[in-house]
Amino acid sequence: MILFVINVKSSHWSLMLGEPKTKVMTYYDSLGRDGTKPFHQLREFLLKRFNSIGWQLQYPENIPQQENSYDCGVFVCEYARCLILHKPMKFSQDHMPHIRERIATELQSGVLLPAESATGNSATDAQVHKVPSQDQPAFTSKKCTKDIWETTELSNVTESSWERLPKFLQLVLPKGYTYMIEHIESLHSRDFIGAQTEPFNAQIRTSVTCRDEAQSWLKSMMDHNQCTYRVTRTYKPTMKRLLFRVDMHCQHQQKALSTKQLALKSSHTTKKGLASELRKKKTNCPSTLIMTVENSTKKLFRKCHNQSKVLHPTFVKLLFDHNHPIHSAHSLSFRSIAQQTKDIFFDLFRSGHSAATAWHTYESKLLLTSLNKTSMQRELADRTINPSRQDVCRLYDT
């Protein structure tokens, strides 16, 4: 088997498969174009180079076709992958975002992912993982949860340090606290590249005792698992019983638009570019977090709860089930800039740097101080550590 990647007039990619045993060339084109001209060119090349004659041209039947003007290269890569692995070509235009994500992951890691990940699903499954639209539920209601997710009780109420927690909880919860697992359910993992292997819905108590500690815990949690949560709602503390409460949602959750916003959006006719189509933040992610700090010093609280709960007065309800890759470069680019990073740029500005020179100086130091290739790629993609040039310009103007 010989694969020839063909560039057509510097504007389109296609693939030619040559089989020396049968002397047959098969032309794969995601726009369904004629392959006679590249066939004659390749036939002359084989004749001159290898003195090989007798080649014939044929076209495959019912191969996936692109529906836009820029995915031809991704289709060629996927054609070649399926041919080399002897897998059926069960992918379509809808799979392109996941295939792009998989290719980027393979290039960054230097590891070829299993064939099962060719379309974000199994190689024999043609289903597409689609993000819920605004008209569809985000898997947050009890009815929807019961219908779609099979849940399994994992443990009873247990008190433990961070080191004794299950591995999937250690990847999410911050160190330095003790936890009490009241209830935890294992959810079905989603079928796309970069999806969580063990999503869960948990009710946990922790040893946080006041508002400041709660805010510190939230910051540590987001730094630890690299997921950013935004405030949905806050509550006024009663001091008698409630010291602090906040409802939060993943930053990729789609906020419902008002009637005025919907009307404005429908009347907006500006043509979107390729970057705006690919760089989408809102995926209607269902992940949520509710944190409540109760006043454990009151007699009523001590009377109603046992000693373990008195030592763990903070209740955390966490639905950790993201419908987008968590650690991809795309997701990391939406995180908030860390205050420590801002302070470094402010120091550079005070020393006489402009926004452009400060950005180049900072990024150069980042490249030199990275421990290895993997950490360097992660740091360059993470906006908390490496803000974009536009972000640095905004900091310079403040």
**For residue 331, which amino acid is it?**
S
Q: What are the Cα distances from residue 17, in Å, to 58, 112, 368?
A: 10, 21, 43
194 contact partners, CB below 8 Å, separation of at least 6: 101, 105, 324, 325, 326, 327, 328
* pTM for this entry: 0.55
Q: Where does the chain hold its CATH 3.40.395.10 domain(s)?
A: 2-117
3-state SS, residue 231:
strand
CA distance 185 to 199: 9
3-state secondary structure of 184: strand
Give residue 172's pLDDT. 93
- Token code pair at residue 38: 């590249």
SS3 call for 343: helix
Pick the CATH number of 2-117 from 3.40.50.300, 3.90.660.20, 3.40.395.10, 1.10.1740.10: 3.40.395.10
- Tell me if residue 288 falls in helix, strand or coil: strand
User: Sign of torsion, CA 23 29 33 38?
Assistant: negative
Helices (H), 306-397: 307-311, 329-332, 339-350, 355-369, 373-381, 389-397
Residue 101, C-beta contacts closer than 8 angstroms, at least 6 positions apart: 192, 193, 194, 325, 328, 330
What is the rounded CA–CA span in Å between residue 90 and residue 122?
A: 10
Rounded Cα distance, 232 and 93, in Å: 35
**What pLDDT score was predicted for residue 303?**
56
Residue 2, Cβ density class (10 Å: 0-12 exposed, 13-18 middle, ≥19 buried): exposed
Q: Give Dmax over CA atoms of the chain in angstroms.
A: 94
Each residue's pLDDT, cut to its tens digit, for the chain (398 residues) gives 889 999 988 889 999 999 888 889 999 999 888 888 989 988 888 888 777 788 899 999 889 999 888 889 999 999 998 998 888 888 889 888 888 888 887 787 676 776 444 444 433 333 333 333 333 333 333 333 333 333 334 444 456 788 888 888 899 999 999 998 888 888 888 887 778 788 999 999 999 989 999 999 999 999 999 899 999 999 988 767 889 999 999 998 876 667 777 777 677 655 554 444 556 778 889 999 999 998 877 665 555 556 667 788 899 999 999 988 888 888 888 889 999 999 999 999 999 999 999 999 998 888 888 767 667 777 888 889 999 999 999 999 88
Distances (CA, A) of 265 to 178, 254, 332: 47, 15, 27
* Alpha carbons 116 and 275: distance in angstroms, whole number: 29
Amino acid letter, 248: M
Which helix H or strand E contains 99, and what residues bound it? helix 96-109
* DSSP letter assigned to residue 61: S
Q: Which amino acid is at 128?
A: V
The owner of tokens 């946990």 is 204
Nearest to 81 by CA among 109, 106, 55: 106
Pairing relationship of beta strands 229-234 and 178-186 according to DSSP bridges: unpaired
